[in-house]
Amino acid sequence: MGSIFQITCDGTIFNRCLDCFLGKAAYISNLQDNLVALETELRKLIAAKNDVMTAVVNAERQQMRRLDQVQVWVSRADAVKTEADELIRGGSQEIEKLCLRGFCSRNCTSSYKFGKQVAKKLRAVETLIAEGVFEAVAAEVVPERAPEPVADERPTERTVVGLQSQLEQVWRCLAEESAGIIGLYGMGGVGKTTLLIHINNKFLESPTNFDCVIWVVVSKDLRLEKIQENIGKKIGLVDDSWKSKSVEEKALDIFRSLREKRIVLLLDDIWERVDLTKVGVPLPGPQNTTSKAVFTTRLIDVCGSMEADRKFKVACLSEKDAWELFRKKVGEETLGSHHDIVELAQTVAKECGGLPLALITIGRAMAFKKTAEEWSHAIDVLRTSASEFAGLGEKVYRLLKFSYDSLQNETIRSCFLYCCLYPEDYGILKWDLIDCWIGEGFLEESDRFSAENQGYYIVGTLVHACLLEEIEDDKVKMHDVVRDMALWIACEIEKEKRNFLVCAGAGLEEAPDVKEWENVRRLSLMQNQIETLSQIPACPHLHTLFLASNRNLTMITDGFFQFMPSLKVLKMSLCDNSTLKLPLGMSKLGSLELLDISDTSIRQLPEELKLLVSLKCLNLRWTGALIRIPRQLISNSSRLRVLRLFATGYLCLQGASEDSVLFGGGEVLIQELLGLKYLKVLELTLRSCHALQFFLSSNKLKSCIRSLFLQLIRDKKSIIDATAFADLKHLNELWIDRAKELEEFKIDYTGIVRKRREPFVFRSLHYVTIYRCYKLKDLTFLVFAPSLKSLLLTCSYVMEELISVGKFVEVPEMMGHISPFENLQRLELWDLPALKSIYWKPLPFTHLKEMEVSGCDQLKKLPLDSNSAKESKFVIRGEAHWWNRLQWEDGATQIAFRSCFQSL
């Protein structure tokens, strides 16, 4: 059996199949000819491309730009050439597969696919040749006039150590509509101009929506015409006729040209407000969010006068970045030339204090110093006479001196130079510095409060000019290089006028020979290891003498001060050797206005201090061993304006002798204080509630008090009326020491409402320490201390709540909004075994920097939540077992504060 399968096909279908077969066969039969043709046509394409590129290059040399269509054709030609070359290289292998005189192949599928690719590529080459010939023939239309670059590239190093993150910050800020004017401020030599150059050049690297970036160097000599000329050159306005126009006419021209454009104006090194409207620049703002202005300045005040929307401080480099920059300038060859050089070089780099200009200058000077001796010598020079180091005087100090020269007046310049009397990296208390300025006569003291305000204004001016650094709210310091510059000015540039001799922090074991002191006006031997001052100097012109922080000082010879008739300021603080006594002959200091023997172990003041007729400021803070201040010494000092007796005699628990004003609880002292007609600033130590009441009965003394130390050791009274403290409008510091029977700081709410119209607050109270008040129940009165910055509480054994008001205990409405610890920066809680709560609900702690908790095992929850985490970044120190048992508001809060903990 079988079956027949029959196909019926009409002619049309047959012809199509035949054409298809013959077409595919043609790819094989024509393969060899097509390969030869492809190779020939490819050479023509290369020639055509070369002709086009020649025309384009010639045009580009005439500042023309190639058209996009030409660039597309060149790219296509390059791609086709690469593909054709590959086919030509594989052609011989495919031809070997052909048989039957090239009409068939031993591998038909392979030969068919290859032949099809060759034919297709040949057509592509022929098409490009035709297009290329047209382009070459029409070479005059290949290029077009190239547009001006958005910014003019400025020369600088490609990478800038330590500035990259700030570059990115400012760059992101330029994209914000709300940031129209941006200020970059910082001390001279810190890299502000370098940062601005990199911002300028970034416009050439990154696509933006801006039409034009204009660079202008302003400098101290502000001239609007100069700024207008720079802008005019950039936007094509400058010609002979334009130069003859007035400032106002030029401003109109600039405004008309720029008002429709998106511009960035970069102003380098401005020292005062630049009125952009007078220049003609459309002012960035709500009506013009597409234009920007970025400027650099040494003065933060300029950021205010320029109405900057954002400001960035360009700070000195971190130690890591400073070392990277320094080693880059020194070079690896030098650093590797001796095994000690790297360590010595790191010491040299640290002397630069992270200031890029100093790092670069010194790094280049040391680039080929390949012996350890040369590096050791460099360290000695930098520490003793830095201005003699190669390049520092001319390249670094003279640049920084512009900031000094630009200070408003001679008073501020004198106050600035005075700061170089302190050692390197020394934290200078603002009020202490101002005391010295007043004592020297820089500030007029007829009105003490006005003089203090002027002093704080000058401190602010120097901080804003980046000549001082604010390290805490109440402390400043000088950058090492700025201090060296100040010494250079005081000791060399204005040598005859200033007469400074500064050996602060020099590691001296002996004082310089007294012959060197003869013509000196200001002498600092501060922070050394001097043990004795056995010579008697003659210093007729000496105004200021700093002997402070010589902790090994055991003896000052009698008569040491007898030939210093002009001495106004004498600082002996922190000379705390227990054998040290004030020498005989101090009565000869007839001009002395400020005597500072704070933080010393001196046990008694000599009677002859009664003869210091000019004394206006006496600082005895923390003289814990002092048991005798002769009676009438204070009352005889009729010109006293400032008396600091905070923690005076606090170590002498047995009390002072009867012939001392420190006898008893302080009543004798208060009696003498009442006779001081000019007293304006008072810091006081009292040892009884009776003395406290005596003090509080004097409106005169209450108006003067700044710091109060209460050492109520023997007192049996268990309550202090905290309400009375609200009348102490200038009370900044309160210390309660060993008030063992104290149970409560009472607040009479009813009396407050009846007597007071204004809100009840302790206006100026910043620092509170409660030490060994074993029976104290709470510190609720601190809810009325909105300015409180530091709270230290230790050894209160029954206290369960720190603040016990707000949740269950309400206060009168007129008492104001209660939000404890709004400005608190430091909180320390030690040995409070019963403490369960700081406050009943979470607090934001927006200013807190440190919280330290120890011996508070019942404190199982902190007043923190997720909002506290958003607002605050502070360190929490405590025992690990306490931290691990804490209960949290929620899991998110626990996670947020996990990284804040440091184990004690």
Q: Can you give the pLDDT at residue 619?
A: 98
- pLDDT higher than threshold 90 for residue 687: yes
Q: What is the rounded CA–CA span in Å between residue 672 and residue 537?
A: 35
In this structure, how many other beta carbons lie within 10 angstroms of the beta carbon of residue 333?
Answer: 10
d(CA 672, CA 896): 56
* 367 within 8 A of 330, measured Cβ to Cβ: yes
Instruction: For residue 302, give Cα distances in angstroms to 179, 214, 306, 461, 901.
Output: 16, 20, 6, 12, 40
**68: pLDDT confidence band, cut at 50, 70 and 90?**
low
Predicted confidence at residue 144, as pLDDT, reads: 52
Higher pLDDT, residue 70 or 307? 307
- Residue 814 predicted with pLDDT over 60: no
Stretch 365-387: mean pLDDT: 91
Confidence check: pLDDT of 127 > 90? no
The token pair that represents 719 in the structure block: 């309550």
Tell which CATH architecture fits domain 11-145. Answer: Up-down Bundle (1.20)
- pLDDT tens for 201-253 read 999 888 778 888 999 999 888 899 999 998 988 888 888 788 889 999 999 99
Inform me whether the pLDDT recorded for 854 exceeds 90.
yes
CB neighbour burial string for 775-789, b if at least 16 within 10 angstroms, e if fewer: ebbbbbbbbbbbebb
Tokens 């008492």 identify what position?
815
Q: What is the pLDDT of residue 35?
A: 75
Start-to-end CA span in the chain (Å): 104
Q: Which residue has the higher pLDDT, 600 or 59?
A: 600
Indicate the SS3 state at residue 180.
coil
Least confident of 45-54, 141-150, 487-496: 141-150
Mean pLDDT, to the nearest integer, of 186-204? 93
Query: What is the residue type of 302?
Result: V
Q: Over the stretch 539-571, which tens digit does the pLDDT of each residue have?
A: 999 999 999 999 999 999 999 999 999 999 999
Q: Does domain 402-497 have CATH number 1.10.10.10?
A: yes
DSSP characters over 475-527: EEE--HHHHHHHHHIIIIITHHHH-EEE-TTS--SSPPPGGGGTT-SEEE--S
H-helix or E-strand containing 25? helix 11-29
Q: What is the pLDDT of residue 810?
A: 56
- How do residues 401-445 score in pLDDT, each as one tens digit? 999 999 999 999 999 999 999 999 999 999 999 999 999 999 988
Q: Does 7 have pLDDT greater than 50? A: no
To the question of domain 164-313 being in CATH 3.10.310.30, the answer is no
> How far apart are alpha carbons 703 and 681 in whole angstroms?
9
For residue 371, give the DSSP letter: S
832: pLDDT strictly greater than 50:
yes
- CA atoms of 874 and 846, how far apart (whole Å): 9
Contacts of 805 (CB under 8 A, 6+ apart): 780, 783, 811, 818
- Taking only the tens place, the pLDDT of each residue in 871-890 is 667 899 999 999 999 999 98
Strand 469-472 with 475-477, pairing: antiparallel
CB proximity list for 729: less than 8 A, separation 6 or greater:
703, 763, 764
The percent of the chain in helix, strand and coil, each rounded to the nearest 5, is 40, 15, 45
* CA atoms within 13 Å, Cβ hemisphere of 335: 18
The predicted pLDDT at position 491 comes to: 86
Mean predicted lDDT score pLDDT of the chain: 87
Burial class (CB in 10 A: 0-12, 13-18, 19+), 639: middle
pLDDT digit string (tens) for 457-485?
999 999 999 999 998 889 999 999 999 99
pLDDT for residue 179 is more than 70: yes
Q: Model-level pTM?
A: 0.80
If you ran DSSP here, which 8-state letter would residue 395 be given?
A: I
Task: Supply the pLDDT for residue 146.
Answer: 53
Average pLDDT over residues 486-493: 89
Backbone angles phi, psi at 901, to 5 degrees: -80, 140
DSSP letters spanning 26-88: HHHHTHHHHHHHHHHHHHHHHHHHHHHHHHHHHHHTTTEEE-HHHHHHHHHHHHHHHHHHHHH
Rounded Cα distance between 692 and 686, Å, is: 7
Residues 505/484, Cβ–Cβ less than 8 Å:
no
Mean pLDDT, residues 746-764 taken together:
69
Q: Is the predicted pLDDT of residue 820 greater than 70, yes or no?
A: yes
Contacts of 263 (CB under 8 A, 6+ apart): 210, 211, 212, 213, 214, 281, 282, 291, 292
Contact predicate 35/91, CB 8 Å = yes
For the residues 333-349, what does the mean pLDDT come to? 93
Segment 758-762 mean pLDDT? 71
Integer Cα distance of 341 and 334 in angstroms: 8
**Mean pLDDT, residues 740-746 taken together:** 89
- Reported confidence tier of residue 811, pLDDT bands at 50, 70, 90: low
- What is the tens place of the pLDDT at every residue in 260-275? 888 999 999 999 999 9
C-alpha–C-alpha distance, residues 791 and 385, integer Å: 43
Give the C-alpha distances (Å, rounded to integers) separating 164 from 176, 191, 196, 199.
19, 12, 12, 10
Q: Find the mean pLDDT for residues 15-34.
A: 56
pLDDT for residue 58: 67
pLDDT for 5 beyond 80:
no
pLDDT level of residue 13 (50, 70, 90 thresholds): very low
